Amino acid sequence: MSLTGKHILIGISGGIAAYKIPELIRSLVKSGAEVRVATTKNALEFVTELTLQTLSGHAVYSDVFAAINAHATEHISLPEWCDAMIVAPATANVLAKTAAGIADDALTTTICSCVARKPIVFAPAMNDKMWENPATQQATQTIRGWKNCMVIDPDEGPLACGTSGKGRMPEVEVLQEAIEYALTPKSLAGQHILITAGGTQEKLDPVRFISNYSTGKMGIALAHACARRGAEVTLVCGSVSAPLLNPFARIHRINSLSAQEMYEACMEEWSKMNAAILCAAVADFRPMETAKEKIKKEPGQESFTLHLSTNPDIARALGEQKRPDQRLIGFALETCHEKENALTKLERKNLDAIVLNSLREEGAGFGTDTNRVSLMLCNGNSYELPLQSKAQVAEQIIDTLFT
C-alpha cells in the first residue's frame, strides 16, 4: 500500500534491537510517510537522539518534563497526530507496563493515550528467557486481546547476549509490512483466497530440471495485499526467491515444486476457497520419465531427444469445478498477440478475469520489481494499469477485482 501522507509514530524502548530503527525510519520516509519518534530514556543508550531526529526530520520525544515545544503535551498530541504507532523494540518492561496501564515516562504515557484510539503494532525483542517469563507472556496476551493492538512474535536465532533462541526483533521489511497491515481496512475479512506463485520445476534426472524465470515476486505481492485486507491466504509456491513476510500467520504456505504437485495442492484446497488467483508460471510439459541416475553424454553424441508429456492445466481444472460463488482469476504471460491470446485463455479456462503482462513491455514480467498489466474481465470490461511496483500492481488488482 502507499504510505504517502501517512503519519507513523515510532516508540522505541531500551533494547539492543533499537539499532534497526533508523533503517525503519528511512524505509517509511522513502515510502512517503511522515515519521515521529517517542522513546524511553534507556532507548537513547542504544541509538542516538541526533540520528533519530535527523532521519525523521522532527524532534524526538523522550522527556515528559522538557520545555514545551510545537507538540505541547506530546503524549496526547502525538497519538492524535498519528495514523498508526509501532513500538519497536518493545521490551519486557514496556510490554508489562502497557498491559497494566502504567504510564510513567514519555513512551509509556504516549502508548497509554494511543491504545484505545489508533492501531498499534508491538514488536517485542529481548533475551529468550525474558520472553518465556509468564509475566511477559501474559502481558503479550493481554495486549493481543485489545481491539487496536497487534503483537508480532519475535524471531528465533542468535541473540545479542551470545545465546540463541526466540527473542530477535523481525527485520525492517516485516515491521513495515506490519504497519501497512495495521493501517489497511479489513475489506476481505472472512474470505479464503488461494494464490499460486513462482515457477514449477520438472525433473529430468537427479541434477536437472526444466523451469522458467519466475521469482514469485508478483504472486507474493498478491498474497501480502490480500492478507493485509484480512483474507486468509493459502499460498501455493513453486520455486520462489522473493521473501514472504508472514508475521501474522494469515498466509498459509504450501510448497509444491512440480506442476503435478501444484495441481494436487490446488485441487485439495479449491472447494474451501472463495477465490483463486493463479499467478504461478506453470510448465505445460514435463519429461515423460525422470531418469534415476544422472543422464550422461556419450562420447561423440551430437544431440539428445527429450520426450515430454502434458502437465495438468490447473486453471482449467479449477474452472471446471468452479461454483457460482467462487471467483477464478488467471494470469497470461505473452510475447505476441497478447490481448487475443489472453481472451482465449479467459474463455477456455472459465476464468472471471485475466491479468495480462507482456514480455515485450520494459519492466514487466519475470523477475522485475515492477510490472505493467491489463485486467480483462469476463463481462467485457478491461483496465490498463501503469508501470508500477509489483506491490502497487497487486493492490490495484485486488481493488479492481474484489470491491
CB atoms within 10 A of CB 183: 18
The DSSP string of 285-323 is EEESS--SSPPPPPTT-------EEEPP-HHHHHHHH--
Shortest distance (Å) from residue 99 CB to ligand PMT: 41
Q: How many residues does the chain have?
A: 403
Across-strand partners of 209? 203
77 or 326: CB nearest ligand PMT: 326
- The one among 148, 366, 378, 387 contacting ligand PMT by CB under 6 A: 366
Subset of 75-114 contacting ligand PMT (CB under 6 A): none
* Cα–Cα distance for residue pair 280/259, rounded to 1 Å: 10
The catalytically annotated residue of 112, 114, 149, 161 is 161
- The one among 331, 343, 392, 397 contacting ligand PMT by CB under 6 A: 331
Element (H, E) at 59: none
Taking alpha carbons only, the member of 237, 314, 274 closest to residue 402 is 274
CB atoms within 10 A of CB 86: 27
| Residue whose C-beta lies closest to ligand PMT | 314
Residues binding ligand PMT: number (CB under 6 A)? 28
Order of strands, edge to edge, in the sheet holding 149-151?
34-39, 7-12, 84-90, 120-124, 149-151
- The one among 39, 357, 358, 392 contacting ligand PMT by CB under 6 A: 357
Shortest distance (Å) from residue 39 CB to ligand PMT: 39
User: Is 259 an interacting residue with respect to ligand PMT (CB under 6 A)?
Assistant: yes
Q: What are phi and psi of 318, to 5 degrees?
A: -65, -40
- The one among 115, 179, 332, 391 contacting ligand PMT by CB under 6 A: 332
C-alpha cell at 365: 514480467
- Would you call 161 a catalytic residue per the annotation? yes
Kindly indicate which of the ranges 17-25, 156-164, 178-186, 329-337 contains the residues binding ligand PMT, using the contact rule CB under 6 A: 329-337
User: Is 362 an interacting residue with respect to ligand PMT (CB under 6 A)?
Assistant: no
State the binding string over 273-292 for ligand PMT (x if CB under 6 A, else -).
Answer: -----xxxxx-x--------
Kindly indicate which of the ranges 18-26, 108-116, 174-182, 365-373 contains the residues binding ligand PMT, using the contact rule CB under 6 A: 365-373
* Cα–Cα distance for residue pair 340/303, rounded to 1 Å: 36
Kindly indicate which of the ranges 105-113, 249-257, 298-306, 309-317 contains the residues binding ligand PMT, using the contact rule CB under 6 A: 309-317
Question: How does DSSP classify residue 363?
Answer: T
Question: How does DSSP classify residue 164?
Answer: E
172 or 315: CB nearest ligand PMT: 315
User: Is 268 an interacting residue with respect to ligand PMT (CB under 6 A)?
Assistant: no
Taking alpha carbons only, the member of 71, 72, 82, 34 closest to residue 56 is 34
Subset of 114-173 contacting ligand PMT (CB under 6 A): none
- The one among 330, 338, 346, 376 contacting ligand PMT by CB under 6 A: 330
CB atoms within 10 A of CB 116: 12
Subset of 165-224 contacting ligand PMT (CB under 6 A): 196, 198, 214-219
CB atoms within 10 A of CB 387: 15
Kindly indicate which of the ranges 74-82, 100-108, 158-166, 363-371 contains the residues binding ligand PMT, using the contact rule CB under 6 A: 363-371
Which residue is listed with cell 532521519? 55
Q: How far apart are the first and last CA of the chain?
A: 16
32 or 367: CB nearest ligand PMT: 367
Helix (H, G, I), strand (E, B) or coil at 36: strand
Q: Is the peptide bond before 134 cis (omega within 30 degrees of 0)?
A: no
- Positions marked catalytic: 161
Q: What residues make contact with ligand PMT under the rule CB under 6 A?
A: 196, 198, 214-219, 259, 278-282, 284, 311, 313-315, 330-333, 345, 357, 365-367
